Structure 1
Amino acid sequence: MWWWTACLLLILYSIVSTARSYWRLRHFKGPRLAAFSHLWYIRAAVSEKAHLYLSDVCTKYGSIARIGPNTLITSDEDLIRKMCGVRSTYSRADWYRAFKFDADRENLFSEVDEEKHIKMRSRVTAGYAGKENPNLENDIDRVLWSLIKLLKSKYISSGSNLKKLEFANIIQFFTLDVITSLTLSHPFGWIENEKDMYEYVKTMEDNVPAMNFMSAVPILSRIMRIPAVQRAALPTVKDRVGMGAIKAVTRDLISRRFGPEKETKTDMTQSFIKHGLSQGEIGDESLLQILAGSDTTATIIRSGFIYIITNPQIYTKLQAECDASGVPLDDIISNARALELPYLNACVKESLRYHPAATGLMPRKVGPEGDTHNGMFFPPGTEIGFCAWMVYRHNPVYGEDASVFRPERWTEATAEHLATMEKAHELVFGYGRYKCMGEKIARIELLKTFFELMRRFHFSFLDPTRPLEKDLNYGLFIQKGMWMRVEERKAL
């Protein structure tokens, strides 16, 4: 009977395929299940603590470990630089293709064709760098003023008069308004309305676990790359909430820049137009900025505030430096002045190091010739991901207390040790041809926000033993329930 033959052939193929997968990476250690199946990594991806699963693997099995039949993970800084270097023979793996916003085209994050990716980066570089937006700092300042005014008008507690602030939500509203202002010269009103506009935050928190799961399951990832499936599954401008609704608003604002009566502004969108991006491409990049630029920055602010506020010595020292800066209260600190404050910069760097905001696998694929690193051979097509949580807690680089939040490491280090840490720290925003385009914006935003909120207000947690009610990781963090008491500081 033919179906018996078919079953036997299928079983034989499965056995041979499994044996081949095991054999090609047999010299790399890792969880036993990972050598034969994707189940180990799938379990990690849905665990709500994916970053700790991956970190534990590198701790147990070394700086290069196996987490799937054809997948390795590394915390080796030199290998990461090698994979991401300008002349690297590695390419972006298909993992990225799960993050498309439109069935008909790739965006800067989802594009895996190296030539197309490089060309796309070259066209958006000026916009991200702020070279063609002289109002970049002023745009951030305007939104920061809105946040300050909101806190002063609604959330200042005094004595027994408690006005609870859910900081996690408010700070994401702030970062969303910043990025939409920089991108489209039009903050969408999260802070002004103190509301989750278009239910964007809620929708993304609901969808991020599913996106992470699909990126972890190869068959689902391949199915999601089928254009017909993408068209059915991806958000559309007809949606009334979530990414689709944001897509509709951005499309409308972008369309006003084209045509006979087009608007002209000095923002990222105008820069993209100048460098030849189409309306559709600009729409995709706007969505990417809103997703990546708001969530990651909000995570760093939340986490940094937790570690600073719960450590009185750090908190007092940072506020003292802010108070002594000489910046008038009717001004927002300039980026140039902020860069001159050593402890402020140390606190921001330590926040980026200690709690990286993006911990997804973000794998690279070994080139057709294979590669050898420190005597270990990687067969062609092997995928190697990053263990961000482990990279920035490496004792030989950051000291024996690398697992402790201590900003002083950046101010007390010798020149030689500081150079070593700075070299490792630059990986926080990627490296080489894959370096994060929004690094400059993020660093300016972080310095200004840490400085202005710390010098104007005194924050304390309603429950110091539980600063977050929800702290989940699916490659990106979902952080909720950051309940705080806010008092205005008078003696400055």
Structure 2
Amino acid sequence: MGTIALIYEARWLIASTLLAVWVALKVKQYYRLRHFKGPFGAGWFEIWHGLAYLSENSHMWFKEATDKYGPIARIGPNELITTSIELLTHINGARNKYTRTRWWYIIGRFQPNRDNIFSEMDENVHTKRRAQMAGGYSGKENHELESSVDMHVLELIELIRTKYCSTEAKACPFDLAKKAQYFALDVISHIGFGEPFGDLRQDQDVNRYLEDLENGTKASSYILGLGLSVFVLGTPLMHLLGRSDKAKTGFGAMTGNTRKIITKRLEDDPDMSKGRDMLSSWFRHGLNKEQLVTESIFQLIAGAETTATSIRSIMLYILTHPRVYARLQAEVDAVVKDGSAKPYPSVVSIATQRQLTYLWACCKEGMRMHPPVTNSSQKQVPPEGDTVMVEGKTIYLPGGTNVGYCVWGLNRDQKIFGADADYYRPERWLTEEDPKKLAQMNQVHEMLFGYGKYQCLGKPIALMEIGKMIFELMRNFDWCLANPEEPWREKCASGIFMTHDFLVEATERSVC
């Protein structure tokens, strides 16, 4: 009792000492990055940073910060956000010592104490895992890659043609946002598991993967916004957040369903010798059953929603710009007429779509105006700190600082894209005469898929899907917005867009 009484008597002294220590630490933390300006209070507390994620509009918060405070803005006591292409290229370079920031990347963990290629913090393990998985994303080990994509392009075209075509007698609006999701999920499940989930065939979210994805992503944005990612993910609390295999919704339900598919595959073909898909390739390159589960979940999330968002945004900007619409459709019709694209029901080949300069200008510009993913992908400055050049100025970054990528701001940067950077103009990709500036523009586009040692392995597949889908949608139908006053409803959770009610009307064209 004597000790307790002594502590009680000294309670105000103890409290004052603890407060003084806390204030001293806060002051020290503030002064480390005092040269970087940012929103009020961001240098002292995480409140602004957290509210950005909770707002479900973080990409715009970050853009407004860099617009106001420059190419490097302070958004938290230890967080910076940047639109500097020089700095981002440097950070993601293959030989640099920057590492992933744990509090951000751990959000990609779907099982307690088990990382995937996104959430893995050990750089050596990450590099090895990329090498093991690369073959599964290529046509060399996934022989039916292009034909699988073509199959689902045709399924979507036929779904629209048989169920959703508008005529002079009847308008039949439908949600292209949802159909793009069905398409992207069928493609990634087909090339991943050897057979599609069948969303397009049944015209519904068959296994509730898309519902689970949205629920899980929303939950992740709250975990990030409240600063709980490190404290929760990787602990038993994950089960309370719906990340258990037994959960009925969210990432846990996705994990449970995926585990069943992989278990069945291994029972039927223990050495995966019969398969020619991602699973069989990954298994042959050393991934065990649990690693197959975690990597499959991640590729479903990374491959489906981002591709669907790209298709939506490209179509939205094409539909709202008649000049662009007419020129693109003319290019499509020209290659059909001259035989470069085989008549329907053949789907345009990769070789042909690569030659369509205006098609790709439209795609790049649509993804620039509305990037498919906007997570900040924070990297940590090496312990010894780093000195970098940004817009001709030498800047020192203290060791341990977290530096994030302002995706929306970089893609609207007037220094790179010109005074009309806020407007959709595909021709900028075709008429730019300065080779250095064009190379810089293309580098910004590359960064939408990650960069350097962190570049997305699924990039070639995503671009194949996007190019084929936009071509065939324009070849087979005439389009208009069903609700031009509000084309869609959209929120951004953890850098991924949740889009609903993108209502459009499609009218049959005579197919050449």
| TM-score class normalised by the smaller sequence | over 0.9
Query: In the superposition, relative to structure 1, how do residues 125 and 226 fare at CA in structure 2: closer, same or farther (>3 Å)?
Result: closer
**SS at structure 2 position matched to 1:486:** strand
CA contact (8 A) 2:238 2:244 kept: no
What is the aligned partner in structure 2 of residue 29 from structure 1?
37
CA contact (8 A) 1:70 1:383 kept: yes
1:233 and 2:241 aligned: yes
**SS at structure 2 position matched to 1:479:** strand
How do residues 94-173 of structure 1 correspond to structure 2 at under 5 angstroms?
Answer: 94=102, 95-173=104-182
Alpha-carbon distance in structure 2 between the residues aligned to 1:201 and 1:3? 54
Compute the TM-score of the two structures, normalised by the length of structure 1.
0.96
What is the aligned partner in structure 2 of residue 363 from structure 1?
378
Query: What is the root-mean-square deviation in Å for CA atoms of aligned residues?
Result: 1.7
Q: More deviation in 51-60 or 318-327? A: 318-327
Give 1:55's match in structure 2, choosing from 56, 63, 85: 63
**SS at structure 2 position matched to 1:487:** strand
What is the aligned partner in structure 1 of residue 477 from structure 2?
457
What is the aligned partner in structure 1 of residue 205 from structure 2?
196
1:77-116 deviations in Å (ceiling 9; x for gaps): 0100111101111100011012211113111111112111
Query: In the superposition, relative to structure 1, how do residues 419 and 260 fare at CA in structure 2: closer, same or farther (>3 Å)?
Result: closer
Give 1:409's match in structure 2, choosing from 418, 421, 428: 428
**SS at structure 2 position matched to 1:384:** strand
Alpha-carbon distance in structure 1 between the residues aligned to 2:26 and 2:439? 45
Alpha-carbon distance in structure 2 between the residues aligned to 1:6 and 1:169? 58
Is the radius of gyration larger for structure 1 or structure 2?
2
CA contact (8 A) 1:46 1:209 kept: no
Q: CA deviation at 1:296?
A: 0.6
**SS at structure 1 position matched to 2:171:** coil
Q: CA deviation at 1:246?
A: 2.9
Alpha-carbon distance in structure 1 between the residues aligned to 2:250 and 2:207? 6
How do residues 268-347 of structure 1 correspond to structure 2 at under 5 angstroms?
Answer: 268-326=278-336, 327=341, 328-347=343-362
CA contact (8 A) 1:130 1:268 kept: no
Alpha-carbon distance in structure 1 between the residues aligned to 2:136 and 2:242? 27
Q: CA deviation at 1:43?
A: 1.3
CA contact (8 A) 1:198 1:245 kept: no
Amino acid across the alignment from 1:304: I
Structure 1: any 5+ residue segments left out of the alignment? none
Query: In the superposition, relative to structure 1, how do residues 209 and 6 fare at CA in structure 2: closer, same or farther (>3 Å)?
Result: farther
Alpha-carbon distance in structure 2 between the residues aligned to 1:380 and 1:114? 18
CA contact (8 A) 2:218 2:494 kept: yes
Amino acid across the alignment from 1:274: R
Percent identity (aligned): 36
1:385 and 2:404 aligned: yes
CA contact (8 A) 1:101 1:234 kept: no
CA contact (8 A) 2:220 2:493 kept: no
How do residues 2-81 of structure 1 correspond to structure 2 at under 5 angstroms?
Answer: 2-81=10-89
What is the aligned partner in structure 2 of residue 222 from structure 1?
230
1:102-159 deviations in Å (ceiling 9; x for gaps): 1131111111121111111111111123320111000111111111111111001111
Query: In the superposition, relative to structure 1, how do residues 260 and 314 fare at CA in structure 2: closer, same or farther (>3 Å)?
Result: closer
For these two proteins, the number of residue pairs brought into alignment is 491
Q: More deviation in 229-238 or 129-138? A: 229-238
Q: CA deviation at 1:472?
A: 4.2
Q: More deviation in 9-18 or 232-241? A: 232-241
Amino acid across the alignment from 1:460: C
Structure 2: any 5+ residue segments left out of the alignment? 1-8
1:325-374 deviations in Å (ceiling 9; x for gaps): 12211200111110011111111111222211111121000101101113
Alpha-carbon distance in structure 1 between the residues aligned to 2:263 and 2:365? 41
Alpha-carbon distance in structure 2 between the residues aligned to 1:221 and 1:382? 18
**SS at structure 2 position matched to 1:175:** helix
Alpha-carbon distance in structure 2 between the residues aligned to 1:373 and 1:324? 48
Q: CA deviation at 1:207?
A: 3.2
Query: In the superposition, relative to structure 1, how do residues 104 and 49 fare at CA in structure 2: closer, same or farther (>3 Å)?
Result: closer
Amino acid across the alignment from 1:308: I
1:398 and 2:417 aligned: yes
Compute the TM-score of the two structures, normalised by the length of structure 2.
0.92
Q: CA deviation at 1:237?
A: 3.0
What is the aligned partner in structure 2 of residue 175 from structure 1?
184
Query: In the superposition, relative to structure 1, how do residues 5 and 131 fare at CA in structure 2: closer, same or farther (>3 Å)?
Result: farther
Query: In the superposition, relative to structure 1, how do residues 78 and 237 fare at CA in structure 2: closer, same or farther (>3 Å)?
Result: same
Query: In the superposition, relative to structure 1, how do residues 169 and 103 fare at CA in structure 2: closer, same or farther (>3 Å)?
Result: same
Alpha-carbon distance in structure 2 between the residues aligned to 1:476 and 1:143? 23
Amino acid across the alignment from 1:341: L
Q: CA deviation at 1:415?
A: 5.7
Amino acid across the alignment from 2:326: T
CA contact (8 A) 1:108 1:120 kept: yes
Q: CA deviation at 1:199?
A: 2.5
Give 1:427's match in structure 2, choosing from 435, 447, 461: 447
